Amino acid sequence: MALQHTSLHHLLTPLLSSFRNVPLASTAFKMATTTAKRSFSSTPSLSRREKGPQKDQRIQLIRYHMQHPRTPRPLKLSRMRALRHWTIHRAWMLARRKRAENEENELQRMYQSMHSAMEELRNLDLPGKKDSGRLYRIALEKKGIFGHGGVPIEYARAQTDTPAKEPWNHGWTR
Amino acid sequence: MSSPQFSIGTKLNRQKGSTRVCSDCISKSSTSSLHPYTNTTRRNYAVATTAIKTTNGNAFDVKVRSAPPVTGTLEPSHYTTKAGILLSRPPLLTRNLDPFEKAFFFYQKRLNERLAIPFTRYFYFKKDTPADADWKLKARERNWAAARDLGGYQAYGKEGWNDEVLVGDRTAEPGFAIKKLIEDSMVRAVEGKDGQAVEVKPGEVAEGQEEVVKPKDRKTKSDKKNRREKLDRKLDRTLYLVVKRKGNGRGWELPCGELVGRENLHQAAERILVQSAGLNMNTWIVGHVPIGHHIQKPHYNPDSSLLRQGSKTFFMKGRIMAGQADLTANQFGLTDFNWLTREEIEEEFHPKLYKSVHNMLAER
């Protein structure tokens, strides 16, 4: 293949053959003036790389930091230590489940309370009377509860770990 | 927020279609609605046994409750309908962690130290700068560990295996972590002559020291003095408004009152709240659906005539966002108010009232 390559060399156009002689350190304006020394493309970033000023050390620093020699490996725990870890994990799972179940039960109780209140409301009046069940029907209406002004913004006060300087504004007036 | 409509005596505008009946109720008729399993007519309301009149003469399930007997429209009802309000201040702080949780979080933080790339000082601090000197000063005091709240644990050192603390160690407390973080925020090295780092003397405050805002205690003054009428007490719990009525033998209750005119429940609740506890509270009634109810049975004479009406109170859920209750102009003869947690309500309320009310109350 090399022989073929060298035999074809003289068939290359003069322009292409002149590229082989372009020195690496030649600048753009030199290329523009001389026909023999021209770069492959006129875009500076795509042109052959020059030595340039000293590289930014920050990039080197980032690379070294990412390729830290003490990259952590999976933990190796002794038998008793592993047992303690397993126990702690089981205990945490249990505690989490207990908390979730309590929340579930709380919601269930609240719902049941609402449901029985609504049942009582439904059976307030006797069925034959005029307007019986009026309060029940009005209670079930959903007009405007999510519309503009449905929920006040002060309701969205988030919980914090520590209280504010004035935790509650007792002196609020309308 | 719109002001509550509590003008008594004015007719409320009856909008067309405000008393709607759902299509299920319209399509249902008593003869065609048969119970799917027993194939008997299903009645959902209480009737007295003597008043049964059927079209097909079948015996069917009848629920005879201790509800009022069937009466005509002329006789007054044995129960009045009342609206009550459960006004709650939601918790303002996150929940308290129990000891297992605190210990577990500390354990996880130390495990994380073992599984994360060790701290590289050169990446964050340039050599011979005041910041670098400051960091070295502080790190020397915590065994050259990067983490400030782990009690000087070095995951990549000789003692890396020793990541468990012993029983009774106070390092796991969140208060300890906060204390250490605040100590660490004090600047201990500044730029002196010729750009050299100079240590700040122990008593002095450095020039570039920013003001460190220390977090407040989770227990406020009202907690310490147990001021039950204050709303900044027990910030990690829900507080509920309870009132005391005039009269001997009356205990603590939730504010309630009778419905006036053609009010509905949430309108009545707003009116009752303002009439009981004043206007200077930023409150909101959550929806139109009652969250609980309490029934007081009527009292009868020996000859079964009505002596005193019973009542059916339907409680509405309300939230308070600012302000305080004020009983000076109240129209229900209330003498005192308190903001109590769930456990305190259990102590103070009559057992029957608590039984009706306790399912509405939140755990926290």
Share of chain B above pLDDT 70, in %: 80
Q: What would the pLDDT profile of A120-156 be if each residue is shown by its tens digit? A: 999 998 888 888 899 999 999 998 888 888 999 999 9
Taking residues B148-166, what's their average pLDDT? 92
Judge whether A139 is closer than 8 Å to chain B, CB to CB: yes
Segment B304-311 mean pLDDT: 92
Residues of A with Cβ-Cβ distance to B21 under 8 angstroms: 137
Least confident of B7-11, B29-33, B178-182, B197-201: B7-11
For residue A31, what pLDDT is reported? 43
- Quote the pLDDT of residue B272: 97
B211 touches A at CB < 8 Å: no
| CA torsion through residues B162, B163, B168, B174, sign | positive
Query: pLDDT tier at B342 (50, 70, 90 boundaries)?
Result: very high
Question: What pLDDT shows up at residue B343?
Answer: 97
Q: In the structure, what pLDDT confidence band is assigned to residue A56 with cuts at 50, 70 and 90?
A: confident
Q: Is A167 exposed, middle or buried (0-12, 13-18, 19+ CB in 10 A)?
A: buried
Cβ of residue B314 closer than 8 Å to a chain A Cβ = yes
Residue B199, strand partner residues: B189
B140: which residues sit within 8 A by CB, 6+ positions away?
none
Mutate to test the interface with A, among B114, B234, B363 (most CBs of A within 10 A): B363
Band the pLDDT of B137: cuts 50, 70, 90.
Answer: very high
Q: Look at residue B61 in the predicted model and tell me its pLDDT.
A: 46
CA distance B217 to chain A (A): 7
What H or E segment, with its residue span, contains residue A110? Answer: helix A79-122
- The mean of the pLDDT values for chain A is 80
Q: What is the mean pLDDT of residues B33-52?
A: 55
Nearest CA-CA distance, residue B159 and chain A, Å: 14
| More confident call, B21 vs B205 | B205
Chain A positions touching B122 (Cβ under 8 A) are 61
Query: What's the pLDDT band for B130 if we cut at 50, 70, 90?
Result: very high
Q: Do B92 and A139 touch (CB under 8 A)?
A: no
Question: Could B312 and A120 be called an inter-chain contact, meaning their C-beta atoms sit closer than 8 Å?
Answer: yes
Dump strand ranges (E) for chain B.
Answer: 79-89, 189-191, 197-199, 239-245, 252-253, 256-258, 281-285, 292-296, 299-300, 306-308, 310-323, 334-340
Which of B220, B289, B360 is the best mutation test for A, with the most CBs of A within 10 A? Answer: B289
Q: Which of A92, A160, A163 sits opposite B104 (nearest CB)?
A: A92
Q: Does position A3 have pLDDT exceeding 70, yes or no?
A: no
pLDDT tens per residue, range A4-53: 444 454 544 454 455 555 554 444 444 444 455 565 667 766 555 666 67
Which residues of chain A does B70 touch, with a Cβ-Cβ cutoff of 8 Å?
Answer: 126
Give the bridge partners for B83, in sequence order: B257, B314
B chain contacts of residue A70, beta-carbon cutoff 8 Å: 117-118, 156
**Residue B253: closest CA among B265, B244, B264, B240:** B244
> How do B239-245 and B334-340 pair as beta strands?
antiparallel
Task: Report the pLDDT value the prediction gives residue B14, as an integer from 0 to 100.
Answer: 45
* Closest C-alpha among B287, B21, B285 to residue A144: B287
Alpha-carbon distance A171 to nearest alpha carbon in chain B (angstroms): 6
Q: H or E stretch including B76?
A: none
Give A9→chain B minimum CA distance, Å.
Answer: 52
Residue of B nearest to A157 (CA): B92
For position B15, what pLDDT does the model report?
47
Q: Do A117 and B20 touch (CB under 8 A)?
A: no
Q: DSSP 3-state assignment of B238?
A: coil
The upper half-sphere exposure of residue A108, i.e. CA atoms within 13 Å in the direction of its Cβ, equals 6
Q: pLDDT band at residue B247, thresholds of 50, 70 and 90?
A: confident
Among chain A residues, CA nearest to B217: A162
Contacts of B215 in chain A (CB under 8 A): 161-162
Q: Which of A125-129, B8-12, B21-25 has the lowest mean pLDDT?
A: B8-12
Per the prediction, chain B carries an average pLDDT of 85
Indicate yes or no: CB of A137 within 8 angstroms of CB of B19. yes
What pLDDT shows up at residue B56? 53
- Residues B241-246 have a mean pLDDT of 96
Residue B235 zone, left/alpha/beta (φ > 0; ψ -120 to 50; rest): alpha
**pLDDT, tens digit (0-9, with 9 covering 90-100), for B174-218:** 899 999 999 999 999 998 888 888 888 888 888 888 889 999 999
Q: Which long-range contacts (CB under 8 A, 24 or more apart) does B247-255 make?
A: B247/B333, B251/B348, B251/B349, B251/B350, B252/B338, B252/B340, B252/B345, B252/B348, B252/B349, B253/B349, B253/B353, B254/B84, B254/B85, B254/B86, B254/B315, B254/B357, B255/B84, B255/B85, B255/B87, B255/B332, B255/B334
Whole-structure pTM value: 0.74
Q: How many CA atoms lie within 13 A of B77 on its CB side?
A: 11
Report the C-alpha dihedral over residues A75, A79, A80, A86, rounded to 10 degrees.
Answer: 60
Question: What span, in angstroms and rounded, lies between the C-alpha atoms of A42 and A31?
Answer: 9
- DSSP per-residue codes, B90-130: --SBPPPPPHHHHHHHHHHHHHHHHHSPPP-HHHHS-TTSH
Q: CA-nearest residue of chain A to B264?
A: A135
Share of chain A above pLDDT 70, in %: 71
What is the CB-side half-sphere exposure of residue B227 using CA atoms within 13 A?
Answer: 12
pLDDT at B209: 87
Q: What is the per-residue pLDDT for B340? A: 98
Question: Is B22 a residue whose pLDDT tops 60?
Answer: yes
ipTM of the complex: 0.75
Q: Which residue in this structure is represented by tokens 């009737």?
A: B47
- The CA distance from A54 to the nearest CA of chain B, in Å, is 19
